Structure 1
Amino acid sequence: MSYADKVFVEMCKDILENGMSTEGEKVRPKWEDGSSAYTIKKFAVVNRYDLRKEFPALTLRKTAIKSCTDEMLWIWQRKSNNIHDLNSHVWDEWADENGSIGKAYGYQMGVKHQYKEGMMDQVDRVIYDLKNNPFSRRIMTNIYVHEDLHEMNLYPCAYSMTFNVTQEKGEDKLTLNGILNQRSQDILTANNWNVCQYAVLMHMLAQVCDMQVGEFVHVIADAHIYDRHIPLVEELITREQHPAPKFYLNPKIKDFYQFTPDDVRLEDYVTGPQIKNIPVAV
């Protein structure tokens, strides 16, 4: 059965059985009807996925691989902060009348910085180092820029990637590993979405840098289930589990900026039914 399902089910059970409730506390998120959106949460959840063994897509319900890849490329490749450049509606709640989400996410990825080697943005710096300084311990991104927070319509949730390259015994190619740091996550709506999109990112970067993928580690500071999501999660984690799908990435693409969502697909992906009309706290 899918390892991602096992991790997800165990995480959800731990949150529901051992988590702390924010009910009655002062919380920022609200439901559409204006009432406070409370959560059950766990501090510092760490999940590890070996991408060499399988792709970490849930089979309990379907994760839309092309849509989550498109959002990842919107941030990392197109470096956009405008929803008109995105082919889904996941950011509509936080966009202004012009479609901008402010100086957040893709905007920060596109800002150029001065390095000894010249001016580069964070994405180009990562690719440069993976190709030229693969054993550096400084290959990372950070989009939680305090001086720009007041101009962000939503503070970054997944805010930092740290890459680490290893030389595995008996392997000709170097192995690319990565850690995603996330300050907060709505487990039902976003957990596997984020896991899949950053797993895709690692596959893409490994391919263009002539490496193989290794381990993806997901660190969540505040892993929470909203009060109105509890019955949905309780039903979801009792579902039948299926084998993990096979991951396909177009092997012809050697330039990160040439990838499109159509270069990614999941094969033999058997899942349970989608959960519809999930309430979203804003």
Structure 2
Amino acid sequence: MSNSEYLYINLLKHILENGTSKEDRTGTGTRSVFGYQMRFDLNEGFPLITTKRVPFRLVVSELLWFIKGDTNIRYLLQNNNNIWNEWAFLKWIESDEYSGPDMRNFGLRSQQDHEFNKQYKEQLEIFKRNILDDDCFAERFGDLGNVYGKQWRNWKTSKGETIDQLKDVIETIKRNPDSRRLIVTAWSPEDVPTSALPPCHSLYQFYVSNNKLSCQLYQRSGDVFLGIPFNIASYALLTHMIAHECGLGVGDFVHTIGDAHIYINHLDQINTQLSRDPKALPTLKLNTSKKSVFDFEVDDLKLEGYDPHPTIKAPVAV
């Protein structure tokens, strides 16, 4: 049995046993620890959690969205990916153009009030249809600002120029694999006030040794039940894709988290997850006819042998 999932399970247990109770911007409340690291050997299998189902196609479409440099949720909705909806929806309901029922604090109210939850779902469906069908609406309310795709592919400089960080780092890996500057950053202090959600996975660095590519992510903040399994899978996938383009094998994915937290309203779900035994990890299959990271589409990235325990649903704190 792979050790990879136990790294994640041990993080859950560590927070439950040692975490500090903290308030947060969502008003939900968390148990939190500061400074935690996991090291996943990518040769053991693809590190997608098996003690609950994690929808791999959502991981893929979100990562490709970042790689494309896109910041509008329309691409995600076109791929039936709803994981960024709430932040764009918030932008709409706070605008002068919104005329529906009061949606303030919808994250918490939808959990506590059945009638409100029905209204919220109705308004969210209206919002999604408008994003998909109305170009002007999508442009105004679907764009999340300077989030990951923009920072990775179109970083703006003080001279008014732009830097394609991702493309540059891939070319450097090919040309100078021993470089200690194989870094992509998403954290820009200037852009924090205008981003829908300032980057949680703030910076990542690559390292080449023995013809294998490793990646370390520094994540300033991590929702350990909902977000961290996605983040592990996403950066493992990115490492595989870049290794493929650069003609390298894969090494480790090292995940360093600043504020690693469990939301209080996820405790029951975590207890359910911890009652389950991990299963064998799946295997990643890339379409090897695609030579560049920038050529991949959703159907080019698949898993074999993924047989997880059932989904465990939990609310997103917005």
Same fold (TM over 0.5): yes
Query: 2:312 is matched with which residue?
Result: 275
Deviation for aligned residue 1:40: 0.6
Give distance in 1, aligned partners of 2:185 and 2:279: 35
Deviation for aligned residue 1:120: 4.3
Please tell me the residue identity of whatever aligns with 2:187.
Y
More helix by share: 2
Query: 1:41 is matched with which residue?
Result: 32
Q: Aligned to 1:188, what secondary structure does the other structure show?
A: coil
Q: Is the 8 A contact 1:113 1:121 kept in 2?
A: no
Please tell me the residue identity of whatever aligns with 2:303.
L
Please tell me the residue identity of whatever aligns with 2:83.
V
Q: Is the 8 A contact 2:4 2:41 kept in 1?
A: no
User: What pairs up with 1:67-216 in 2 under 5 angstroms?
Assistant: 67-75=58-66, 77-86=67-76, 87=79, 88-95=81-88, 96-97=91-92, 98-111=141-154, 120-166=163-209, 168=210, 174-216=211-253
Q: Is the 8 A contact 1:2 1:58 kept in 2?
A: no
Q: What whole-Å deviation, never above 9, does each CA across 1:35-93 have from its counterpart, x for those lacking one?
A: x2111111111000011222111110111112101101111x21011001223111111
Q: Is the 8 A contact 1:2 1:56 kept in 2?
A: no
Query: 2:55 is matched with which residue?
Result: 64
Q: Is the 8 A contact 1:21 1:39 kept in 2?
A: yes
Please tell me the residue identity of whatever aligns with 2:177.
P
Structure 1 portions without partners, runs of 5+: 30-35, 169-173
> Which stretch shifts more, 82-91 or 195-204?
82-91
Q: What whole-Å deviation, never above 9, does each CA across 1:104-161 have from its counterpart, x for those lacking one?
A: 21111222568xxx97410111111011111100010111101111211111001111
Given the superposition, is the C-alpha separation of residues 107 and 15 from structure 1 closer, same or farther in structure 2, using an over 3 Å criterion? same
Please tell me the residue identity of whatever aligns with 2:41.
D
Q: Aligned to 1:147, what secondary structure does the other structure show?
A: coil
Count of matched residue positions in the alignment of Structure 1 and Structure 2: 262
Q: Is the 8 A contact 1:65 1:264 kept in 2?
A: no
Please tell me the residue identity of whatever aligns with 2:281.
A
Query: 2:7 is matched with which residue?
Result: 7
Query: 1:221 is matched with which residue?
Result: 258
Length-normalised TM-score, structure 2: 0.79
Q: Aligned to 2:31, what secondary structure does the other structure show?
A: strand
Q: Is the 8 A contact 1:44 1:219 kept in 2?
A: yes
Query: Is residue 230 from structure 1 mapped to residue 267 from structure 2 by the alignment?
Result: yes
Deviation for aligned residue 1:2: 3.8
* 2:281 corresponds to which of 230, 239, 244: 244
RMSD of aligned alpha carbons: 1.6
Identity %: 37
Larger radius of gyration: 2
Give distance in 1, aligned partners of 2:228 and 2:153: 25
> Which stretch shifts more, 4-13 or 203-212?
4-13
Please tell me the residue identity of whatever aligns with 1:274.
T
Give distance in 1, aligned partners of 2:264 and 2:56: 27
Query: 1:32 is matched with which residue?
Result: none
Structure 2 portions without partners, runs of 5+: 93-140
Given the superposition, is the C-alpha separation of residues 134 and 16 from structure 1 closer, same or farther in structure 2, using an over 3 Å criterion? same
Length-normalised TM-score, structure 1: 0.89
Q: Is the 8 A contact 2:31 2:262 kept in 1?
A: yes
Q: Is the 8 A contact 2:71 2:148 kept in 1?
A: yes
Q: Is the 8 A contact 1:141 1:162 kept in 2?
A: yes
Q: Aligned to 1:37, what secondary structure does the other structure show?
A: coil
